[in-house]
Amino acid sequence: MQEKQINHPHYQLSYFVYGKGTPVVLLHGYGEDSQIWKNQIDYLAAHCLLIVPDLPGSGKSIITAKGKEEWLPNLRIESLAHSINELLIEENIAACIMLGHSMGGYISLAFAQLFPSKLLALGLVHSTAYADSDEKKIVREKSIQFLAENGGYIFFKTSMPNLFGKKFKETQARVMEQLIEQSKAFETAVLIAYTRAMMQRTNKANVLASALFPVLFVAGPEDIAAPLTDIQVQATVPIKSYLEIIEGVGHMGMLEAPQEMNQHLSRFIHLIP
């Protein structure tokens, strides 16, 4: 394992590199960092060159004072996609497989729209190509207000349990508590900027329709953030599409069912020449 860093005027991007072979980038979601993939890293690193970044403002990737002034207030999902492109340039990677969880999936889709030739394949892990509905945008606005008044810890203490399936919540409460505790590391301004960026993102179904590369969808029947019914419809759109449903799982299959998730991701990776 190598820990590396890219210095940009607006942020320092920290990332980890494991293994060798076909380049695979794992993108974490909202309120997470690269360690959300901890149950996948060792397994997948045996099959590929695995690159796992902390998105700017998450984990070890800090946003500079200049970035907080100039970059963060205008953050878009595309901004984060550009930061991942800088990582690929730094690593001299012409094309990769990109697998994104939740907000990481939104970033992967934006990357696919901006840099389609740089993708060998795309994976949406508990994520959706759809933009927020009007109702969802109202929820995002309320979340921004709540974050501004209470901070990220109280926000995730309230919302995080809803992301897990019923059985996991009943038997693995400690895992959820650890994630909630880790949310204390996030600056409120970063979480607000992420939330606004997700709210403002556009529908990317056209990206799925025009994709010349294979697309993987991983879904959970108990996922309220990326409903299975939506994912099943989206999985009919790409020319080459693979849908994996993990029973009894909500939005966090990497933690809820790590063995099944590892098998689905590695099988997809091995499909790519």
pLDDT score for 26:
98
Quick check: helix, strand or coil at residue 211? coil
Judge whether residue 215 has pLDDT over 90. Answer: yes
| 182 belongs to a structural domain | no
C-alpha 50/C-alpha 107 separation (Å) is 18
pLDDT score for 273:
84
Residues 6 or more apart in contact with residue 171 via CB below 8 angstroms: none
| 178 belongs to a structural domain | no
Q: For residue range 195-208, what is the model confidence (pLDDT) as tens digits?
A: 999 999 999 999 99
Judge whether residue 82 has pLDDT over 90. Answer: yes
How are strands ordered across the β-sheet holding 23-27?
2-7, 12-19, 49-53, 23-27, 96-101, 119-125, 215-219, 241-245
Residue 211: pLDDT band by 50, 70, 90 thresholds? very high
Q: Which two tokens stand for residue 120?
A: 């060998």
Count of CB atoms situated within 10 Å of the CB of 152 = 20
Tally the domains of the chain.
1
| 190 belongs to a structural domain | no
We report the CATH number of the domain holding residue 223 as 3.40.50.1820
**Strands 241-245 and 12-19, sheet pairing:** unpaired
| 184 belongs to a structural domain | no
| 113 belongs to a structural domain | yes
Q: For residue range 131-185, what is the model confidence (pLDDT) as tens digits?
A: 999 999 999 999 999 999 999 999 999 999 999 999 999 999 999 999 999 999 9
| 59 belongs to a structural domain | yes
CA atoms within 13 A on the CB side of 272: 26
| 176 belongs to a structural domain | no
| 183 belongs to a structural domain | no
**Strands 12-19 and 2-7, sheet pairing:** antiparallel
- In which domain, by residue range, is 22 found? 2-131+203-271
